[in-house]
Structure 1
Amino acid sequence: MTNLVTLLTESARARGDGPAVRQGETLLTYARLDDAVARFARLLRERGVRPGDRVAMAVPNVVQFPVAYYGILRAGGVVVPLNPLLKARELAFVLGDSRPGLVLASPSCAGEVEEAARRTGVAWLTVGTTQWERLLRDTEPESAVAERADDDTAVILYTSGTTGSPKGAELTHRNLMTNALTTARTVLRISRDDVVFGGLPLFHAFGQTCALNAALGSGATLTLLPRFDPAEALRIMARDKVTLFLGVPTMFTALLHSGTADGSGPQDLRIAVSGGASLPVETLHAFERRHDVVVLEGYGLSETSPVATFNPPDGPRRPGSVGLPVSGVELRVVADDGTPVRTGEVGEIVVRGENVMKGYWNRPDATSEVLRDGWLHTGDLGRVDADGYCFVVDRKKDLIIRAGYNVYPREIEEVLHEHPAVAEAAVIGVPHETHGEEVTAVVSLRAGARAEAEHIRDFVKRRVAAYKYPRVVRIVDALPKGATGKILKRELSADR
């Protein structure tokens, strides 16, 4: 039996009284967490959830997240994590595509979830603290763990390229189990004495594997921060004696700007990990000097569970590199025809291994496009040096990463085209000092139409999550196009 929930059940058996998850003043031991998970699994079974059924959840980094996540898995269900910042129209697409039997909502996003659930005919349940405690108190624990096969889907993570609708990457129990254990044992070397910072969104692959599953599968303590704030993060790291910090580059930058001149910052860090985007070398060195800790970079995608490469904790580390393939993973750099390029040459990064998804949910065409002969074609450009270290050079895709969140231009362009005055639109990412990239929209107006940039910006703001809307809107007479009529985004980027 491979069920991913055994990461938790085995840790609970080994150290039931040990601290598992903390959020503020709330602390759950492994025994209490395991009991709550078993009760939640029974609640789901009583509501008709059966092995293989999908259950969506829009829950931030609070203690209810691991209870719901592992409860779904224990019942044999498939977790569909949702970003709690999404608006109803965005949630409705995912619910309509994945067709879950139930969607769980935190009170902070219950209104948007309820609207999306009503649009799609999906049952929903609010998991606020009061309701949560009552539901679990009145429910007996589920003694059994549902049996699942290695290749059964455990989690569907919705992701998207720059064209088309979001796609659900199907990650199996084996994908996530092996990636979490490899990360914990050979990369981060997590032990039960570690305290792992849980500020990465747990609905994302990075936070799920490297924080939630790796920590709890190792008997360590996970301390949660519902929404990242640098001052609060520093306070939590000092209070809880955090030993392992996981973050995206914008978090590292924000922590550096917050400062710890009074000595109140973290004193117990043994390692820090950056992922999600390239960490500027200057930022890496500055963080290491400030906190006397080694910063390691890695690389991966939702489709790779996500860890594909990492700088080794003991071997030579190369700033600017995302390291070597982790155990069980192969990486190549190939030309457009799929043949490997020479050492040091730039090509597309392709990955093969036990971490690679089995495909996109109900999207066989999209699956066959990226999975070819067992290799996942990432769409990222990179090179590999003579020692096997990988360097990510650029993206073939136009994905924008703003403050660690993925923004897909096509999605925002679709909303812009809903504005009655907009004729054409292109969305690009431009460099930003603190956010990494900022979302910028360039639009032309319909003949005779009038609109202010601020009005167009607010139009989009009302329809998408706060991190997605373009802070900058430029109105131009016409967008540059190539011979085929395709908008030339590279010219827009060069003319910012």
Structure 2
Amino acid sequence: MGADPSVATLTGLLAERARRSPDREFLRFGDESWTFAEIDAWTSRLAHRLIEVDGVQPGDRVAIMLPNIVHWPVVWLSALKAGAVAVPVNSSYKRADLTFLLRDSGARVVFTDHERAGLLKEVADTETDLADLRVVDVAADGSAPFPATAPAVRPTAGTLANLQYTSGTTGFPKACMLTHDYWVRLGWTCAAVTGLGSDDVLLTAQPFSYMDPQWNTALALTIGAPLVVLPRFSASGFFADVRRHRATFFYVLGSMPTLLFKQPPHPDDLDNRLRLVLCSGVPVGIHAQLEERWGAPWREIYGMTETGVDLFASVDDADSVGSGSLGFPVPTKRVRVVDPQGVDLPEGEPGELIVSGRPMMLGYWNRPEDTARVLRDGWLHTGDVVVRRPDGGIQLVGRIKDMVRRGGENIASAEVEAALERDGEVVAAAVVAEPDETFGEEVKAFVQLAAGVPADRTTAARLVDRAGRQLARFKVPRYVEFVTDFPRTPSERVSKLALKARAAAEPGVTFDLGDRRGSAGAPAASSAGVLDVDVVRGVAVLTLRRPEKLNAMDVATRRRLAYLIRKFGSGENVRGIVLTGEGRAFSAGEDLQAPPTSYEEMREAFETFHDITRAVVETRVPVIAAVNGLAVGGASEITLCCDARIGSPAAEYYQPENGRGITISNASSLLLARIVRNHAMRMVLGSPRIGAEEALRIGLLDEIVAPGELVDRAVDLVVEWTPDNNTTALHLALLRPRLDEIEQAFAREDAAARETWESGVFRAGVEGFWTAKGTGK
């Protein structure tokens, strides 16, 4: 790349291109195009007009309120040639937003078209502090009589070029102060990391008032390639335009990749010249299919208005496809992942992404406090929560301000949205926090459905169930509201501020699905008879009462157990929980008298075991397993996530899965090794019966007490661990395994379970078990 760009300003880049390749195409709007020389001459004439007619001096602000027409980049480059500062204005702004932006920026001149001129004149006439605002209609910009050579004004790399207002998703927008160096360095960096050159054809469909067409313009000037600008983004017609213009490169963000993917496949999908697609936030689940369908690499690029470009997944990095990786820092940037105190975090720990290097904004216009809050000691705090991957790359978790805080858990809205949007019945989704008396906030999803899908409770439940297979239980939406569209920012992101305001003003039908994930409403009563609840000295004692079946648990019982653990786990009504069984068995785990008959049933069986582990780990109170006898399979695994295990002399652990074609399923691949270390391999592969004394020796049990004292001792332990004014909940959270580690174990175990099902090993193992039982073996 070299140390610095060879040309320091955007206007210098344009002059250089006009000199070296005057007749090469630069800008294409619809069926019309303009060369570098034509745009250079036009912008010089208009810059003279700004200086001589409008009295624009260096540093004055010139606003641009136009749709995607060629006059937009022409006015931008003309203002820069006059030494002015461009102020892009969203062409759809109404009076309040427009007044704020014009007043905040102090614009002296605004260029617009006939459709918007009336609104601008009305604002200028009624707002006394905007009375001197000059409104210029680009249809007659008055540039023709002026010379086609640039004015004598000579901006430098540090000259302010733009007041670029952010999208304003969380309040009034702030203007980032961007210099010529910012734009030149952004185009220079993107050219270097992508390998694009003069033979490429760039294409953009976002509004020009937003960043993307502007940095695409800087890229086109850097590499000497044409830029095609579409009037707007249309998912249905986008790839027809890509083919028609023979585009080799484009950039999409937000919901755009999902909307493109959900268009019906077309025989001409592969009939294109694409070499590279850059995207921000491509859904992990469809990333590989996007590449396959259109025959070009789709790679992540990360940046902000404040920082330009920071991270990039290399074209050669095929391993990034579908991984969720944002890539690695570009050569001009350094990145860190830090906690709220600014301390660097290790690999895998979520924290805020902070960035240093160039390009970088100077700060926020008229907002020194906001600048000081975001720019600290040379590092810009992005507000994005990320983790550093094992390969050193960066993976996005979500926005600090776009999180749902449910109980003690932080839920990234982006993760839940991605899970919902992978569903073929969903066009787009937006997740917000809904106030909740119990948990503080609950997860609410606004969902836009595909054509023909009914917007009813059945659909809502189906979508939540499918999303729940990809998410931790506490992340699954409780509320679903269907919408026909979303209010969006100019960058095609959903404006959640506007969405919530619209929902408050015009509330739709919201489906409460809390009973489908255990947060409200008990499971079917059919399981109540085999799982009793007693409260002893302020401790909830949950007892499996199916002794004739060794307390084996069917799906309904496991759901009820997870529900009760969550019900009592908040600590509002009891100080702890004890799990035990009646008769000679703690539990025989899965009820093999009613084994799954399909993969879906097996997946549900695994998930209900998983959910008990989640429920235990999420509690704010101690959970003690009182192991009164035989603990087999999944029941043995359930005890592993408890905070202590107390057994009677009859306690016996048995993990027979390996000989039955079943896999361990309740995060044992993590929890068992955590407790018994190298004994885990022998327990699972050899399936020995481990009695109470050996269980105590290797760590499966913490104590052995007389049978009649078992539950009382477990209750005593809960009381001992929960004194008045305690910090028990905080210590439990610190000492227990992390839920994300448990979820990773679930994913590994689910993959193994699928393999046993698809290979037939599972079915053969269960049939072999019953054959052996029938012959007395």
Verify same fold: TM over 0.5.
Answer: yes
Give the structure 1 partner of residue 569 of structure 2. none
Q: State the shift of 1:428 in Å.
A: 8.4
2:278 is aligned, of 270, 273, 276, to 273
Residues 168-222 of structure 1, C-alpha deviation per residue, up to 9 Å, x if partnerless? 11112212211111011x222221111111212222223321x111122211011
Once the two structures are TM-superposed, the CA of residue 266 in structure 1 deviates from its matched residue by: 5.0
Give the 3-state SS of the residue equivalent to 2:164 in structure 1.
Answer: strand
CA distance in 1, matches of 2:140, 2:354: 46
1:224 aligns with 229
Label 1:11 to 1:428 Cα distance change in 2 as closer, same or farther (>3 A).
farther
Q: Which of the numbers 507, 516, 526 marks the counterpart of 1:474?
A: 507
Paired residues for 1:150-229 under 5 Å: 150-159=157-166, 165-184=172-191, 186-209=192-215, 211-229=216-234
- Aligned position for 2:570: none
Structure 1: distance between partners of 2:226 and 2:121: 33
Q: Deviations over 1:391-439 (max 9, x none)?
A: 1101112399999xxx9x9xxxxxxxxxxxxxxxxx98746568xxxxx
SS at match of 1:203: coil
Bigger Cα displacement from structure 2, 90-99 vs 241-250: 241-250
Per-residue CA shift, 1:58-114, capped at 9, x if unaligned? 122211111111111111111111111111110110110110111111334333333
Residue 30 of structure 1 and its aligned partner are, at CA, apart by 1.1
The residue type paired with residue 383 of structure 1 is: V
Aligned to 2:292: 289
Q: Secondary structure at the match of 1:125?
A: strand
Match of 1:307 among 306, 309, 320: 309
Contact 1:298 1:323 in 2 (8 A): yes
Contact 1:241 1:266 in 2 (8 A): no
1:2 maps to which residue? Answer: 8
Please identify, of 143-152 and 338-347, the stretch whose mean Cα deviation from structure 2 is larger.
Answer: 143-152
CA contact (8 A) 1:179 1:355 kept: yes
Indicate yes or no: 2:131 matched with 1:121. yes
Distance in structure 1 (CA, Å) of the matches to 2:184 and 2:260: 31
1:357 aligns with 2:366: no
Q: Name the counterpart of 1:488.
A: none
Q: Hey, what's the Cα distance between the residues in 1 that align with 2:340 and 2:279?
A: 29
Say which of 248, 257, 261 aligns to 2:253: 248
- Is the 1:95–1:122 contact (alpha carbons within 8 Å) kept by the matching residues of 2? no
Q: Report the CA distance shift for 1:332/1:345 in structure 2 as closer, same or farther (over 3 A).
A: same
SS at match of 1:147: coil
Counterpart of 1:390 in structure 2 is 394
Distance 2:327 2:303 in 1: 11
Q: Secondary structure at the match of 2:310?
A: strand
Structure-2 change in CA distance of 1:98 and 1:429 (3 Å): farther
**Any gaps of 5 or more consecutive residues in structure 1?**
410-426, 435-456, 477-496
Q: How far 1:152 moved relative to its partner?
A: 2.5
* Matching residue of 1:73: 80
| 1:440-466 CA-partner distances (Å, limit 9, x unpaired) | xxxxxxxxxxxxxxxxx9xxx9xx999
Matching residue of 1:147: 154
The Cα shift of 1:159 comes to 1.9
Task: Tell me the amino acid that sits aligned with residue 18 of structure 1.
Answer: R
User: Where does residue 18 of structure 2 map in the other structure?
Assistant: 12
| Contact kept? 2:117, 2:137, Cα under 8 Å | no
Q: Matches of 2:315 and 2:78 in 1, distance apart?
A: 33
Structure 2 counterpart of 1:28? 34
Q: Distance in 1 between matches of 2:108 and 2:354?
A: 35
Q: 1:328 to 1:433 in 2, by over 3 A?
A: farther
CA change 1:317–1:94 in 2 (3 A) is farther
Query: 1:208 aligns to what SS in structure 2?
Result: helix
Whole-angstrom CA distance in 2 between matches of 1:326 and 1:465: 23
Q: Please state whether the residue corresponding to 1:263 is helix, strand or coil.
A: coil
Please say if residues 270 and 295 of structure 2, whose CA atoms lie closer than 8 Å, have aligned partners that are also in contact. no
Correspondence for 2:378 among 374, 377, 382: 374
AA in 2 matched with 1:200: Q
Of 112-121 and 151-160, more deviation after overlay is shown by 112-121
Aligned length: 422
For residues 340-380 of structure 1, give each alpha carbon's deviation from its aligned partner in whole angstroms, at most 9, with x where no partner exists. 11122110110111112111001111110111101001111
Q: 1:162 to 1:231 in 2, by over 3 A?
A: closer
Corresponding residue number in structure 2 for 1:233: 238
Task: Give SS of 2:326's match.
Answer: coil
**By how many angstroms is 1:317 displaced?**
4.4
Of 97, 100, 109, the residue aligned with 1:102 is: 109
For 2:144 and 2:363, the matched residues in 1 are separated by: 39
Contact 1:317/1:323 (<8 A) preserved: no
Q: Secondary structure at the match of 2:10?
A: coil
Q: Does 1:333 align with 2:343?
A: no
- Amino acid in structure 1 at the alignment position of 2:24: G
Distance 1:190 1:331 in 2: 25
Report the secondary structure of 2:390's partner residue: coil
Residue type of the alignment partner of 1:121? A
The answer on whether the counterparts of 1:202 and 1:212 sit within 8 Å (CA) in structure 2 is: no
Matching residue within 307, 324, 341 for 1:320: 324
Taking CA–CA contacts closer than 8 Å with sequence separation of 6 or more, which of the two structures ends up with the larger relative contact order?
Answer: 1
In structure 2, the gaps of 5 or more residues are 1-6, 404-412, 422-429, 433-442, 451-482, 510-777
Counterparts of 1:87 and 1:22 in 2: how far apart (Å)?
29
Structure-2 separation of matches of 1:429 and 1:32: 50
Does the 8 A contact of 2:270 with 2:293 survive in 1?
A: no
CA shift, 1:390, in A, is 0.8
What is the Cα deviation at residue 281 of structure 1? Answer: 1.7
Mean Cα displacement is larger for which, 312-321 or 373-382?
Answer: 312-321
Residue of structure 2 in register with 1:452 after alignment: none
SS in 1 for 2:223: coil
- Contact kept, 8 Å, 2:57 with 2:82, in 1: the verdict is yes
Contact 2:247/2:273 (<8 A) preserved: yes
1:131 aligns to what? Answer: 140
**Farther-moved stretch of structure 1 (145-154 vs 467-476):** 467-476
Higher share of residues assigned helix? 2
Query: Which whole-Å CA distance do the structure 1 matches of 2:398 and 2:367 have between them?
Result: 26
Report SS of the residue matched to 1:302: coil
1:388 offset after TM fit, Å? 2.4
Provide the rounded CA distance (Å) in 2 between the counterparts of 1:433 and 1:76.
Answer: 49
The letter of the residue matching 2:103 is G
The 2-side partners of 1:238 and 1:31 are apart by 27
Distance (whole Å) between structure 1 residues aligned to residue 232 and residue 329 of structure 2: 31
